[in-house]
Amino acid sequence: MARGKTYDEDFKKMIVELYNTKSKPACDIIREYGISNSVLYKWVKEYL
């Protein structure tokens, strides 16, 4: 079975920072960076 993309720690933290500072809406972050909704919220829970 093929695995999805892997992202480094710095990228994940940058995405969470964008989300937490409300500088961009979640839908814009998801679209712009090509991640799924579930991945975004998983990272947010992981890095809080």
Q: How does DSSP assign 1-48, residue by residue? A: --------HHHHHHHHHHHHTTSS-HHHHHHHHT--HHHHHHHHHHT-
Cβ neighbours for 30, distance < 8 A, ≥ 6 positions apart: 36, 37, 40
pLDDT in tens, 5-46: 899 999 999 999 999 999 889 999 999 999 999 999 999 999
- Give the pLDDT confidence score for residue 5 in this predicted structure: 83
* pTM assigned to the model: 0.84
Better-predicted residue by pLDDT, 17 or 3: 17
User: Residue 4's pLDDT band (boundaries 50, 70, 90)?
Assistant: confident
pLDDT in tens, 7-17: 999 999 999 99
